[in-house]
Amino acid sequence: MYSARNNHILGTLEFNERSSVSVFHKTYAVPAVIFLVAAGLLSACGDDNAAPAPSTSATSSARATTSSDGTSSATAELVKLLRPSVVHIKSETATLDVFGQLVPSAGVGTGFIIDDKGHIVTNNHVVSTDSGDAAQDITVTLDDGSEHTAKIAGRDQPTDVAVLQIDSGNLKPATLGDSSKLQVGDDVIAIGNALDLPGGPTVTKGVVSALGRLIQESNPDVSIPNAIQTDAAINPGNSGGPLVDLNGEVVGITTAVIRGNAEGIGLAISMETAQPIVKELIDKGRVQRGFLGVTIQEITPSLAEQFNLSVDHGVGIRSVQPGGPADKAGLKQGDIIVKLGDKDIRASGDLFAALTEHRGGDIVDVQYFHGGDQRSTQVTLG
């Protein structure tokens, strides 16, 4: 996979897996990434199956209530029901310093229980080292204070999703919601171990500020489509925690925040994107995916008018991996993909979704514009 940059840079986007508050926690260098409103890398992703339905939910009965003075306490009731589903994650590893001595380091994040088999969803970067390897020791602390050693059921770097598993009874899974029903302006709640402050998880509330964002990181390669933007406060340690609607259902996985010249812009992986990844990680331990080998620029009507393009939608190719699948099929920089297989491609999320249905070795028909000519070719995915 390859990184791409866009002129519309809102700020520096940080993954929030590490806390420097506790003396036991190393401050990790957070990789610089770019938040793209309309452009960037697209990676071919895994299959499009529905996620496993969680068992008895800790949040399904959450509804707005009214206190004796008439004040709505919906948020407080939701938090009370959600907290047993939210976990504290501490990942530890040991590295060698310049003198060859072992140096322990640790990071902190958040996760949430999704079934009574002990599966916990979090971010991949919460349970990974700076080099991308899996953390050596992972400890999960439940809301009742009990600590459990966790194993990694599977992790997926491109979508920054990981699934852990613990051996514990009497778990209270969260309810997974339908993020496709979200609307801009909907109220949401973020729960996570912000800065690893004592006293349990931090709760912040905001609205859905935008939908369909694309999260991109240059190294290691991360490309997450259809992300949810929110103004709910997000800080280091929140990573992997649930973003919840007012029905008490998890609609996103908190993953990043933009710093610098932007304020109040947090990002979450939508459950629509995460659920098939979670299912495949549980079933197979990894996500197998096809690969196109391009970086892209999402085409908008304004961009098409500005550059006098032949089509006002689709994804333009910014660069092609030499010798990659797209290159071998004759696709060039500047071509605009408008259909892959039987799926119309109007935006980057459409291309991402279409590629999730295929695996390496699959042969797919691609329709595209080259200059003013509409053409088609067959691509053998890598």
Pairing of strands 175-176, 249-259: parallel
Please report how many Cα atoms fall inside a 13 Å half-sphere around the Cα of residue 60, on the Cβ side. Answer: 10
Q: How far apart are CA 143 and CA 85, in angstroms?
A: 8
Rounded distance between C-alpha atoms, residue 170 and residue 175, angstroms: 16
Q: Does the annotation count 125 as an active-site position?
A: yes
CB within 8 Å of 330: residues ≥ 6 apart: 377
Tell me which residue of 263, 197, 275 sits closest to 230, measured CA to CA. 263
CA dist., res. 317 & res. 42, Å (int): 10
* Separation of alpha carbons 220 and 336, rounded Å: 26
Picking from 16, 10, 15, 17, the residue whose alpha carbon sits closest to that of residue 35 is 10
Q: Which of 132, 40, 45 is nearest to 316 (CA)?
A: 40
3-state SS class at 188: strand
Which of 85, 128, 209, 239 is an active site residue?
239
Identify the sign of the CA torsion 296, 299, 304, 309: positive
DSSP state of 216: E
* Token pair for 59: 């949040």
Provide the token pair at 122.
């979090």
Distance, in Å, from the CA atom of 239 to the CA atom of 21, rounded to the nearest integer, reads 15
Phi, psi (deg, nearest 5) at residue 226? 55, 35
The owner of tokens 């899996």 is: 134
Choose, from 88, 119, 125, 313, the residue flagged as catalytic. Answer: 125
d(CA 145, CA 166): 14
Which one of 25, 88, 91, 160 is the catalytic residue? 160
Q: Side chain identity at 218, as an amino acid letter?
A: S
Residues belonging to the active site: 125, 160, 239
